[in-house]
Amino acid sequence: MKKILAVVAVICVGLFAGSACAQPASPPAEQAIRPLMAKMLQAANAHDTDAFMQPMMRGDGLVFAINGMVIHGWKALHAQQLKWWNNGKSDATYVQSGEPAFMALGPDVEIVTWPLEARGTLSSGKAPTRTFVVSYVWRRLPQGWRIVYGHESWTKAPG
């Protein structure tokens, strides 16, 4: 009988732990993060790197992966973002192309997968619309929700 209770207890703990690892978003977390994302999208369309990166964790712990490159630290990502947006002179525009998916990993950590589209003039003179997805790991820090990790995945440009 004790063995059966022990097995049932282990199964229950396993089920509980597994469900705690991947839960739907916490409504308060999602409500706090969505306005930050809206400001990021607005800043992206203004090519305002400082405003865009405001919700990102400052310091060397920030990690961002894109196109086979891993960027470590807020300063390094800021410098790269300035290059991508040609110091604010880019003509790229961004729109959300679907609903972001939120997933709680714990009370203070959320993963958000955000489908987007971009349109801007390439060096070839073409201005295709490209789809991409950004996944962010948001963490509740003393200063509020901050992005601690990001990854962008782009579709291949048409033509």
State the average pLDDT over residues 58-81. 97
Three-class secondary structure of residue 114 per DSSP: strand
Three-class secondary structure of residue 23 per DSSP: strand
Q: Does domain 22-154 have CATH number 3.10.450.50?
A: yes
Could you read off the pLDDT of 95-130 as tens digits, one per residue? Answer: 999 999 999 999 999 999 999 999 988 878 888 899
Structure tokens at 154: 């782009």
Q: Is the pLDDT of residue 1 over 80?
A: no
